[in-house]
Protein backbone atom coordinates (compact mmCIF):
# COMPACT_ATOMS: atom_id res chain seq x y z
CA UNK A 1 0.00 0.00 0.00
CA UNK A 2 2.16 2.85 -1.27
CA UNK A 3 -0.58 5.49 -1.00
CA UNK A 4 -2.38 6.72 2.12
CA UNK A 5 -5.77 8.36 2.68
CA UNK A 6 -6.28 10.44 5.82
CA UNK A 7 -9.87 11.02 6.97
CA UNK A 8 -11.37 12.43 10.13
CA UNK A 9 -13.17 9.69 12.05
CA UNK A 10 -15.44 12.04 14.00
CA UNK A 11 -16.98 15.45 13.18
CA UNK A 12 -13.74 17.06 12.05
CA UNK A 13 -11.14 19.03 14.05
CA UNK A 14 -9.45 15.77 15.08
CA UNK A 15 -5.91 17.08 14.63
CA UNK A 16 -5.43 16.00 11.02
CA UNK A 17 -3.03 18.88 10.33
CA UNK A 18 -0.22 17.53 12.48
CA UNK A 19 -0.60 13.97 11.19
CA UNK A 20 -0.92 15.00 7.55
CA UNK A 21 2.20 17.14 7.93
CA UNK A 22 4.07 14.21 9.47
CA UNK A 23 2.97 11.94 6.62
CA UNK A 24 3.58 14.58 3.94
CA UNK A 25 7.26 14.55 4.83
CA UNK A 26 7.30 10.94 3.56
CA UNK A 27 5.02 11.59 0.58
CA UNK A 28 5.84 12.95 -2.86
CA UNK A 29 2.36 14.23 -3.67
CA UNK A 30 -0.43 15.52 -1.41
CA UNK A 31 -4.01 15.69 -2.72
CA UNK A 32 -7.15 17.45 -1.46
CA UNK A 33 -10.18 15.54 -2.74
CA UNK A 34 -13.29 17.21 -1.26
CA UNK A 35 -14.60 20.25 0.57
CA UNK A 36 -13.48 23.81 0.08
CA UNK A 37 -12.01 26.66 2.09
CA UNK A 38 -14.32 25.79 4.97
CA UNK A 39 -11.81 23.17 6.14
CA UNK A 40 -9.28 24.81 8.43
CA UNK A 41 -6.16 23.12 9.71
CA UNK A 42 -3.07 24.39 11.47
CA UNK A 43 0.47 23.23 10.79
CA UNK A 44 3.32 23.93 13.19
CA UNK A 45 6.72 23.47 11.56
CA UNK A 46 9.59 24.60 13.71
CA UNK A 47 8.74 28.07 14.94
CA UNK A 48 6.32 28.80 12.10
CA UNK A 49 2.55 28.37 12.23
CA UNK A 50 0.63 27.96 8.98
CA UNK A 51 -3.16 28.16 8.89
CA UNK A 52 -4.53 26.54 5.76
CA UNK A 53 -8.11 26.32 4.55
CA UNK A 54 -7.92 25.26 0.92
CA UNK A 55 -4.38 24.30 -0.01
CA UNK A 56 -3.09 20.78 0.70
CA UNK A 57 -0.70 20.60 3.64
CA UNK A 58 2.20 19.46 1.47
CA UNK A 59 2.43 22.87 -0.17
CA UNK A 60 4.47 24.23 2.75
CA UNK A 61 7.17 21.58 2.31
CA UNK A 62 9.82 22.01 -0.41
CA UNK A 63 9.92 19.32 -3.07
CA UNK A 64 6.31 18.19 -2.61
CA UNK A 65 3.59 18.45 -5.25
CA UNK A 66 0.26 19.74 -3.89
CA UNK A 67 -2.89 18.97 -5.85
CA UNK A 68 -6.47 20.23 -5.55
CA UNK A 69 -8.69 17.52 -7.03
CA UNK A 70 -11.99 17.71 -8.87
CA UNK A 71 -13.96 16.78 -5.73
CA UNK A 72 -13.13 20.17 -4.18
CA UNK A 73 -15.17 23.32 -4.81
CA UNK A 74 -12.75 26.17 -5.42
CA UNK A 75 -13.17 29.83 -4.56
CA UNK A 76 -10.58 31.37 -6.91
CA UNK A 77 -10.27 34.52 -4.83
CA UNK A 78 -9.74 32.47 -1.65
CA UNK A 79 -7.08 30.44 -3.46
CA UNK A 80 -5.16 33.53 -4.53
CA UNK A 81 -5.44 35.07 -1.04
CA UNK A 82 -4.15 31.92 0.64
CA UNK A 83 -1.28 31.60 -1.83
CA UNK A 84 -0.28 35.22 -1.23
CA UNK A 85 -0.47 34.77 2.54
CA UNK A 86 1.84 31.76 2.42
CA UNK A 87 4.24 33.53 0.10
CA UNK A 88 4.39 36.27 2.72
CA UNK A 89 5.51 33.60 5.20
CA UNK A 90 8.33 32.56 2.89
CA UNK A 91 6.65 29.60 1.16
CA UNK A 92 7.43 29.34 -2.55
CA UNK A 93 4.29 28.48 -4.55
CA UNK A 94 4.18 28.09 -8.33
CA UNK A 95 3.06 25.59 -10.93
CA UNK A 96 6.10 23.56 -9.91
CA UNK A 97 4.45 22.57 -6.63
CA UNK A 98 0.72 23.34 -7.02
CA UNK A 99 -1.80 21.99 -9.52
CA UNK A 100 -5.57 22.36 -9.64
CA UNK A 101 -7.93 20.04 -11.51
CA UNK A 102 -9.27 21.59 -14.70
CA UNK A 103 -12.75 20.27 -13.92
CA UNK A 104 -12.99 21.67 -10.38
CA UNK A 105 -16.24 23.66 -9.83
CA UNK A 106 -15.87 27.30 -8.78
CA UNK A 107 -17.43 29.13 -5.85
CA UNK A 108 -18.74 32.55 -6.89
CA UNK A 109 -20.30 35.53 -5.12
CA UNK A 110 -23.75 34.13 -5.91
CA UNK A 111 -22.93 31.06 -3.85
CA UNK A 112 -21.52 32.96 -0.89
CA UNK A 113 -24.53 35.27 -0.69
CA UNK A 114 -27.05 32.44 -0.99
CA UNK A 115 -25.25 30.44 1.70
CA UNK A 116 -25.33 33.40 4.09
CA UNK A 117 -29.01 34.09 3.35
CA UNK A 118 -30.01 30.54 4.12
CA UNK A 119 -27.93 30.23 7.26
CA UNK A 120 -29.07 33.55 8.67
CA UNK A 121 -32.74 33.10 7.78
CA UNK A 122 -35.35 32.64 10.46
CA UNK A 123 -37.05 29.74 8.70
CA UNK A 124 -35.76 26.27 7.90
CA UNK A 125 -32.98 24.29 9.55
CA UNK A 126 -29.85 26.01 10.72
CA UNK A 127 -26.98 23.72 9.75
CA UNK A 128 -24.06 25.74 11.11
CA UNK A 129 -22.21 26.31 7.84
CA UNK A 130 -19.27 28.68 7.45
CA UNK A 131 -21.32 30.76 4.96
CA UNK A 132 -18.56 30.46 2.36
CA UNK A 133 -20.71 29.20 -0.50
CA UNK A 134 -19.67 25.56 -0.29
CA UNK A 135 -23.14 24.02 -0.32
CA UNK A 136 -24.63 26.14 -3.12
CA UNK A 137 -21.53 25.46 -5.27
CA UNK A 138 -21.98 21.71 -4.85
CA UNK A 139 -25.68 22.12 -5.71
CA UNK A 140 -24.75 23.77 -8.99
CA UNK A 141 -22.24 21.01 -9.73
CA UNK A 142 -24.91 18.34 -9.31
CA UNK A 143 -27.39 20.54 -11.20
CA UNK A 144 -24.96 20.62 -14.16
CA UNK A 145 -24.76 24.39 -14.29
CA UNK A 146 -21.46 25.00 -12.45
CA UNK A 147 -18.70 27.19 -13.82
CA UNK A 148 -15.54 25.08 -13.78
CA UNK A 149 -11.92 26.17 -13.81
CA UNK A 150 -11.46 25.14 -17.45
CA UNK A 151 -14.27 27.53 -18.43
CA UNK A 152 -12.04 30.49 -17.52
CA UNK A 153 -9.67 29.38 -20.27
CA UNK A 154 -12.50 29.58 -22.84
CA UNK A 155 -13.66 33.21 -22.66
CA UNK A 156 -15.75 32.99 -25.85
CA UNK A 157 -18.20 30.56 -24.25
CA UNK A 158 -17.94 31.77 -20.65
CA UNK A 159 -20.75 34.30 -20.87
CA UNK A 160 -23.25 31.68 -22.06
CA UNK A 161 -22.34 29.52 -19.06
CA UNK A 162 -22.82 32.47 -16.71
CA UNK A 163 -26.27 33.07 -18.22
CA UNK A 164 -27.14 29.40 -17.66
CA UNK A 165 -26.05 29.66 -14.02
CA UNK A 166 -28.01 32.85 -13.39
CA UNK A 167 -31.19 31.45 -14.92
CA UNK A 168 -31.35 29.32 -11.78
CA UNK A 169 -30.00 31.77 -9.20
CA UNK A 170 -32.02 34.76 -10.30
CA UNK A 171 -35.21 32.70 -10.13
CA UNK A 172 -34.34 32.00 -6.48
CA UNK A 173 -33.60 35.65 -5.85
CA UNK A 174 -36.90 36.76 -7.35
CA UNK A 175 -38.64 34.37 -4.96
CA UNK A 176 -36.76 35.94 -2.07
CA UNK A 177 -37.61 39.45 -3.31
CA UNK A 178 -33.93 40.25 -3.87
CA UNK A 179 -32.33 42.09 -6.78
CA UNK A 180 -31.09 39.84 -9.55
CA UNK A 181 -27.42 39.29 -10.37
CA UNK A 182 -26.22 40.72 -13.66
CA UNK A 183 -24.32 38.48 -16.04
CA UNK A 184 -21.82 41.27 -16.73
CA UNK A 185 -20.89 41.45 -13.05
CA UNK A 186 -20.34 37.69 -12.67
CA UNK A 187 -18.44 37.60 -15.96
CA UNK A 188 -16.19 40.41 -14.73
CA UNK A 189 -15.70 38.64 -11.39
CA UNK A 190 -14.36 35.61 -13.24
CA UNK A 191 -12.25 37.30 -15.89
CA UNK A 192 -10.56 39.49 -13.27
CA UNK A 193 -9.13 36.46 -11.46
CA UNK A 194 -8.61 34.07 -14.38
CA UNK A 195 -4.99 34.91 -15.11
CA UNK A 196 -4.04 34.33 -11.47
CA UNK A 197 -5.50 30.82 -11.16
CA UNK A 198 -5.21 29.32 -14.65
CA UNK A 199 -1.41 28.81 -14.39
CA UNK A 200 -2.10 26.08 -11.81
CA UNK A 201 -4.64 24.20 -13.98
CA UNK A 202 -3.89 20.62 -15.01
CA UNK A 203 -5.51 17.31 -15.96
CA UNK A 204 -5.21 15.92 -12.46
CA UNK A 205 -6.45 12.37 -13.02
CA UNK A 206 -3.77 11.92 -15.67
CA UNK A 207 -1.09 13.55 -13.54
CA UNK A 208 -1.89 11.26 -10.60
CA UNK A 209 -1.77 8.20 -12.83
CA UNK A 210 1.70 9.26 -13.99
CA UNK A 211 2.79 9.81 -10.38
CA UNK A 212 1.51 6.37 -9.40
CA UNK A 213 3.21 4.63 -12.32
CA UNK A 214 6.46 6.39 -11.41
CA UNK A 215 6.27 4.84 -7.93
CA UNK A 216 5.57 8.12 -6.13
CA UNK A 217 3.99 8.08 -2.68
CA UNK A 218 0.62 9.83 -2.78
CA UNK A 219 -1.12 11.19 0.31
CA UNK A 220 -4.84 11.96 0.07
CA UNK A 221 -5.83 14.62 2.59
CA UNK A 222 -9.45 14.64 3.73
CA UNK A 223 -11.22 17.65 5.18
CA UNK A 224 -13.88 17.80 7.91
CA UNK A 225 -14.79 14.35 9.28
CA UNK A 226 -16.63 11.23 8.17
CA UNK A 227 -19.59 12.02 10.42
CA UNK A 228 -20.17 15.14 8.31
CA UNK A 229 -20.46 13.05 5.12
CA UNK A 230 -23.46 14.01 2.98
CA UNK A 231 -24.56 10.34 2.83
CA UNK A 232 -23.14 8.72 5.96
CA UNK A 233 -23.11 11.64 8.39
CA UNK A 234 -25.67 13.13 10.80
CA UNK A 235 -27.89 14.44 7.99
CA UNK A 236 -28.94 17.22 7.53
CA UNK A 237 -26.31 18.58 9.91
CA UNK A 238 -23.50 17.67 7.54
CA UNK A 239 -21.24 19.22 4.94
CA UNK A 240 -22.13 19.15 1.23
CA UNK A 241 -19.56 16.62 0.06
CA UNK A 242 -18.62 13.02 0.71
CA UNK A 243 -15.97 12.99 3.43
CA UNK A 244 -15.51 9.22 3.73
CA UNK A 245 -12.37 7.60 2.32
CA UNK A 246 -14.06 6.39 -0.86
CA UNK A 247 -14.20 10.01 -2.04
CA UNK A 248 -10.40 10.03 -2.34
CA UNK A 249 -10.82 8.04 -5.54
CA UNK A 250 -13.84 9.90 -6.95
CA UNK A 251 -12.57 13.34 -5.97
CA UNK A 252 -9.18 12.91 -7.60
CA UNK A 253 -9.70 10.60 -10.55
CA UNK A 254 -7.55 7.87 -9.03
CA UNK A 255 -8.99 4.37 -9.32
CA UNK A 256 -10.26 2.96 -6.00
CA UNK A 257 -7.87 0.02 -6.18
CA UNK A 258 -4.92 2.42 -6.03
CA UNK A 259 -5.96 4.37 -2.94
CA UNK A 260 -4.15 2.18 -0.40
CA UNK A 261 -4.04 2.47 3.40
CA UNK A 262 -6.84 4.43 5.12
CA UNK A 263 -5.80 6.23 8.31
CA UNK A 264 -8.62 7.58 10.46
CA UNK A 265 -7.92 10.43 12.88
CA UNK A 266 -9.84 10.52 16.16
CA UNK A 267 -9.48 12.51 19.32
CA UNK A 268 -9.32 10.68 22.63
CA UNK A 269 -12.61 12.48 23.34
CA UNK A 270 -15.22 13.97 21.01
CA UNK A 271 -15.91 17.49 19.74
CA UNK A 272 -18.32 19.07 17.32
CA UNK A 273 -18.73 22.57 15.83
CA UNK A 274 -22.17 23.81 14.84
CA UNK A 275 -25.59 22.26 15.09
CA UNK A 276 -26.69 18.63 15.14
CA UNK A 277 -26.84 15.57 17.40
CA UNK A 278 -24.01 14.82 19.81
CA UNK A 279 -24.92 11.91 22.11
CA UNK A 280 -21.90 12.17 24.43
CA UNK A 281 -21.83 15.98 24.70
CA UNK A 282 -20.99 17.27 28.17
CA UNK A 283 -22.67 20.66 28.49
CA UNK A 284 -21.24 21.02 31.96
CA UNK A 285 -17.98 21.56 33.84
CA UNK A 286 -16.44 18.42 32.32
CA UNK A 287 -17.07 19.63 28.78
CA UNK A 288 -15.82 23.09 29.70
CA UNK A 289 -12.62 21.62 31.18
CA UNK A 290 -11.96 19.48 28.10
CA UNK A 291 -12.53 22.50 25.86
CA UNK A 292 -10.23 24.70 27.91
CA UNK A 293 -7.42 22.14 28.02
CA UNK A 294 -7.79 21.25 24.36
CA UNK A 295 -8.09 24.86 23.12
CA UNK A 296 -11.22 23.81 21.27
CA UNK A 297 -11.95 26.66 18.90
CA UNK A 298 -12.45 26.34 15.13
CA UNK A 299 -9.49 27.24 12.88
CA UNK A 300 -11.69 28.87 10.24
CA UNK A 301 -14.56 30.31 12.28
CA UNK A 302 -13.12 30.69 15.77
CA UNK A 303 -16.33 29.12 17.07
CA UNK A 304 -16.19 27.30 20.40
CA UNK A 305 -16.42 23.54 19.92
CA UNK A 306 -18.87 21.38 21.83
CA UNK A 307 -17.02 18.74 23.87
CA UNK A 308 -17.83 15.31 25.28
CA UNK A 309 -16.61 11.81 26.04
CA UNK A 310 -15.21 9.44 23.41
CA UNK A 311 -18.02 7.84 21.40
CA UNK A 312 -16.87 4.37 20.33
CA UNK A 313 -20.18 3.71 18.57
CA UNK A 314 -19.60 6.52 16.11
CA UNK A 315 -15.94 5.79 15.49
CA UNK A 316 -16.71 2.09 15.00
CA UNK A 317 -19.29 3.12 12.40
CA UNK A 318 -16.74 5.34 10.66
CA UNK A 319 -14.18 2.53 10.64
CA UNK A 320 -16.65 0.53 8.58
CA UNK A 321 -17.97 3.23 6.23
CA UNK A 322 -14.44 4.42 5.40
CA UNK A 323 -12.67 1.07 5.47
CA UNK A 324 -10.20 2.39 8.03
CA UNK A 325 -7.10 0.23 8.49
CA UNK A 326 -5.73 2.09 11.52
CA UNK A 327 -6.54 5.00 13.83
CA UNK A 328 -4.35 7.91 14.87
CA UNK A 329 -5.52 8.81 18.37
CA UNK A 330 -4.87 12.48 19.14
CA UNK A 331 -4.95 14.69 22.22
CA UNK A 332 -4.59 11.87 24.71
CA UNK A 333 -2.84 14.32 27.03
CA UNK A 334 -6.03 16.37 27.46
CA UNK A 335 -7.44 13.55 29.59
CA UNK A 336 -4.50 13.61 32.02
CA UNK A 337 -5.66 13.93 35.62
CA UNK A 338 -9.26 12.77 35.22
CA UNK A 339 -10.10 10.32 37.98
CA UNK A 340 -12.68 8.63 35.80
CA UNK A 341 -13.11 8.63 32.03
CA UNK A 342 -16.29 7.54 30.33
CA UNK A 343 -16.57 5.87 26.92
CA UNK A 344 -19.84 5.41 25.06
CA UNK A 345 -20.12 1.74 24.07
CA UNK A 346 -23.76 1.53 22.95
CA UNK A 347 -26.87 3.69 22.63
CA UNK A 348 -30.30 3.38 24.17
CA UNK A 349 -33.15 4.32 21.86
CA UNK A 350 -36.66 4.35 23.31
CA UNK A 351 -35.56 1.88 25.97
CA UNK A 352 -33.81 -0.53 23.58
CA UNK A 353 -30.02 -0.80 23.34
CA UNK A 354 -28.55 -0.50 19.81
CA UNK A 355 -25.00 -0.68 18.46
CA UNK A 356 -25.05 2.08 15.81
CA UNK A 357 -26.30 5.59 15.15
CA UNK A 358 -29.55 5.36 13.18
CA UNK A 359 -29.98 7.41 10.00
CA UNK A 360 -33.24 9.00 11.16
CA UNK A 361 -32.86 12.61 12.30
CA UNK A 362 -35.50 12.21 15.01
CA UNK A 363 -33.93 8.97 16.24
CA UNK A 364 -30.49 10.58 16.36
CA UNK A 365 -31.94 13.29 18.59
CA UNK A 366 -33.38 10.70 20.97
CA UNK A 367 -30.47 8.30 21.44
CA UNK A 368 -28.92 8.16 24.89
CA UNK A 369 -25.33 7.04 25.48
CA UNK A 370 -24.58 3.87 27.41
CA UNK A 371 -21.25 4.46 29.14
CA UNK A 372 -18.43 2.29 30.36
CA UNK A 373 -16.36 3.94 33.07
CA UNK A 374 -12.57 3.56 32.97
CA UNK A 375 -10.19 4.62 35.71
CA UNK A 376 -8.12 7.66 34.82
CA UNK A 377 -4.39 8.00 35.37
CA UNK A 378 -1.99 10.02 37.45
CA UNK A 379 1.01 11.62 35.83
CA UNK A 380 1.13 12.96 32.32
CA UNK A 381 1.05 11.65 28.79
CA UNK A 382 2.04 15.03 27.32
CA UNK A 383 5.11 14.72 25.12
CA UNK A 384 5.23 10.91 25.29
CA UNK A 385 7.04 9.32 22.34
CA UNK A 386 6.91 5.63 23.31
CA UNK A 387 4.60 3.27 25.15
CA UNK A 388 7.11 3.24 27.99
CA UNK A 389 6.44 6.95 28.53
CA UNK A 390 2.72 6.39 29.13
CA UNK A 391 1.07 5.56 32.47
CA UNK A 392 -0.21 1.98 32.49
CA UNK A 393 -3.80 3.13 32.79
CA UNK A 394 -3.45 5.37 29.73
CA UNK A 395 -2.27 2.35 27.73
CA UNK A 396 -5.27 0.41 29.04
CA UNK A 397 -7.54 3.23 27.80
CA UNK A 398 -6.01 3.09 24.30
CA UNK A 399 -6.29 -0.70 24.17
CA UNK A 400 -9.93 -0.58 25.22
CA UNK A 401 -10.68 1.92 22.45
CA UNK A 402 -9.08 -0.47 19.94
CA UNK A 403 -11.37 -3.26 21.12
CA UNK A 404 -14.49 -1.12 20.96
CA UNK A 405 -13.92 0.40 17.50
CA UNK A 406 -12.60 -2.73 15.81
CA UNK A 407 -9.41 -1.16 14.47
CA UNK A 408 -5.83 -0.88 15.75
CA UNK A 409 -4.34 2.38 16.95
CA UNK A 410 -1.52 3.06 14.49
CA UNK A 411 -0.31 6.30 16.10
CA UNK A 412 -0.87 8.19 19.33
CA UNK A 413 -0.39 11.96 19.42
CA UNK A 414 0.46 13.47 22.79
CA UNK A 415 0.93 17.15 21.98
CA UNK A 416 0.69 19.56 19.01
CA UNK A 417 4.41 19.04 18.38
CA UNK A 418 4.94 16.61 15.50
CA UNK A 419 7.75 14.78 17.33
CA UNK A 420 5.44 13.95 20.23
CA UNK A 421 3.97 10.92 18.50
CA UNK A 422 4.02 7.25 19.40
CA UNK A 423 4.33 5.33 16.13
CA UNK A 424 2.94 1.81 16.17
CA UNK A 425 2.43 1.34 12.44
CA UNK A 426 3.67 3.60 9.63
CA UNK A 427 0.83 3.75 7.07
CA UNK A 428 3.28 4.21 4.18
CA UNK A 429 5.11 1.03 5.13
CA UNK A 430 2.11 -1.25 5.66
Residues belonging to the active site: 13, 41
| Among the listed residues 371, 365, 331, the one whose alpha carbon sits nearest the alpha carbon of residue 350 | 365
Cβ atoms of 366 and 423 within 8 Å: the answer is no
Query: Alpha helix (H) ranges present in 176-214?
Result: 183-197, 204-213
Amino acid sequence: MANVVVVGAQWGDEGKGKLVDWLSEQADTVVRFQGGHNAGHTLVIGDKVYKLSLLPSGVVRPGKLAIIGNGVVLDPYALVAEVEKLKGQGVAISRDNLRVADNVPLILSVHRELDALRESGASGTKIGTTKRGIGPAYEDKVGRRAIRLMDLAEPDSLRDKVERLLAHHNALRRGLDLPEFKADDIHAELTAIADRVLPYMDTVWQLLDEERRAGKRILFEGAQGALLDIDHGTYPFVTSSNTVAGQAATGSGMGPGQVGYVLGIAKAYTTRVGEGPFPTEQDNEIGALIGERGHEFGTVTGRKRRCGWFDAVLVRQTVRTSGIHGIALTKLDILDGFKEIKVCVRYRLDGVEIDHLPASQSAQARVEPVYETIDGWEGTTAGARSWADLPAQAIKYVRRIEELIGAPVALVSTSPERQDTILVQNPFET
